[in-house]
Chain A
């Protein structure tokens, strides 16, 4: 018997009493979504910058590039100073990556990003600093709401990212910047 069949045969013997599939009836708290989002993003170590035009984001990128930073920009209409190579490993010395995010979640400060927005799957993690552009009208109250809006596509990778990489594995002391990005900026486009 294959192990698959053996596991299924063992499960046949279990007969746990059936329990119905629950349904979520929690009402989203839609009060001051932007205020909730900013408070939670700050709590998880990220920074919110509200912008009216994409050109304001370009001004931030220009300043980073003028400071000598290498910038990969994956947002249409904006420019960085570095293109993606075929091999993602070369991104190890990247200073800043800017990508599109599809949705934002007020209850925890997360944004949803997809690999089509980043080119290489590893881009949002390997870069020293991560920035995303997300439209204000994609902001929802909680995780139940956001999973209605973002559909995972076959063969893809999608991630909820809430703030920079962090750890508290040494005596519970919070340190920002473990393996992933050491900072996270969310440009919220009105």
Chain B
């Protein structure tokens, strides 16, 4: 797993973010805003649920027949003059990219957002070898200048305020001091990055979809940075996980209808570009990467994580992500999908618990990835390996026994209600541990237990 901050549990990292209550509320609101726009876009499509079902079925079909589609994709790419490379892990991916760049004596590389290259730590690898690597998506450029990893897979700089971006741009690209207007700052970045596009010897992008029947890759951006990046220099490289394959243009049409709607509420991104061969006199390379994917494919449920089309919808809706921020996951991909693909390598054994199992992520996912089920399964796997986090190994079996015994549970709950009524909060709060750090204790219901209430009001009615 791509650990980003050394070994630290999610709870401990989240606790640091939670110290600044105003920032937590601001972060929560920014993400909820995206979720709201997503809801409007989804509701305006009468066939939305059908599209989700189709998206899920296309991805399941592809994953079940991945070898067939990879073979078809490779053969068609070759017909189109595209060079195909295979990498079993991140290290090999980096070596392949570097060998292509070295062959062409590339000094300046412009990149468009690719979580895969982040996963493989491509940037530091190339920079160590003397190549100037520039991330060109505005959000990616901001965090690159800020020397940070992305905190979100679609809006990587969502954790920063406009004043902070203004200060950063003043220091790094010479914009006016004290400026914080997003339009001004974006125009400054446009001018700065345009120079980089014109100087680049090669362009590299991620891939949103690779169409097997065509031997083509599709890239979706709003800024046009991928297209500016690969269409000017002679050499273009596209790096993709093997899960990004789709069978044909019909499948691409389905996913292109949900991707942007579920990410930001737009009907489609400004640019959805298909590359089916190199430009005249140019070279086009596609690097297909495994890096742990086939390992997860061996489990029928975990494999479904790779139906994901990286829209980020599950992050925006997740109450834990919104209130703990991307960095607290200590994994390159945060949020529910991050847990689904990274929990197996989580040495802190805490990632799978960075979730309330509310199921909202599963509900909004445009390809019906059963995220809550997958996260629950990771808990079980960690538990079976005897690797429950923070002492859960010790007390959870007792909690289990307690909750399985009806008499004990009823008695316990009754005494808790009585204690809540008669004892002072100061005495009771410590029993709530972390839960009561930022919350008041609940009032004990006058009606007693839910069961008592149900018996009185609903049973036999």
Contact = CB atoms under 8 A, between A and B. Distances in A.
Do A and B associate with each other?
yes
Interface of A: 2-4, 6-8, 10-14, 16-22, 24-26, 29, 40, 43-45, 88-89, 92, 105, 107-110, 115, 120-122, 124-126, 142-144, 146-147, 152-173, 175, 177-181
Contacts of B215: 154
Given A122-B228, A179-B225, A159 B193 contact: no
Chain B interface residue bracket vs A: 35 or more
A157 B279 contact: yes
Nearest to B87: A3
Contacts of B295: 10
A158 B274 contact: yes
Interface in B17-62: 30, 33-34, 46-47, 50-51, 53-54, 57-58, 60-61
A3 to B, nearest CB: 4
Contact of B155 (A11, A125, A169): A169
B77 to A, nearest CB: 10
Given A2-B86, A142-B257, 16 more contacts: A7-B70, A14-B66, A16-B300, A22-B57, A24-B250, A43-B266, A147-B250, A152-B276, A161-B271, A162-B267, A167-B222, A169-B155, A170-B157, A170-B162, A178-B222, A178-B223
A110 B231 contact: no
A98 B114 CA distance: 31
Interface in B218-239: 222-225, 227-228, 231-232
A157 B61 contact: no
A142 B268 CA distance: 11
Given A171-B30, A177-B186, A179-B197, A4 B86 contact: yes
Contacts of A144: 250, 253-254
25 contacts: A6-B88, A11-B66, A13-B294, A18-B64, A19-B61, A26-B54, A45-B270, A122-B228, A122-B231, A158-B274, A160-B268, A160-B271, A161-B270, A162-B272, A165-B222, A167-B186, A168-B222, A169-B139, A169-B156, A170-B186, A171-B161, A178-B138, A178-B223, A179-B197, A179-B228
Given A24-B254, A40-B267, A178-B222, A110 B277 contact: no
Interface of B: 30, 33-34, 46-47, 50-51, 53-54, 57-58, 60-61, 63-67, 70, 79-81, 86-88, 92, 136-139, 142, 155-158, 160-162, 165, 182-183, 185-187, 189-190, 193-194, 197-198, 214-216, 222-225, 227-228, 231-232, 242, 247, 249-250, 252-254, 256-257, 264, 266-279, 288, 290, 294-295, 297-298, 300, 303
B40 to A, nearest CB: 11
A55 B294 CA distance: 58
Which of A11, A45, A107 has the largest number of chain B CB atoms within 10 A? A11
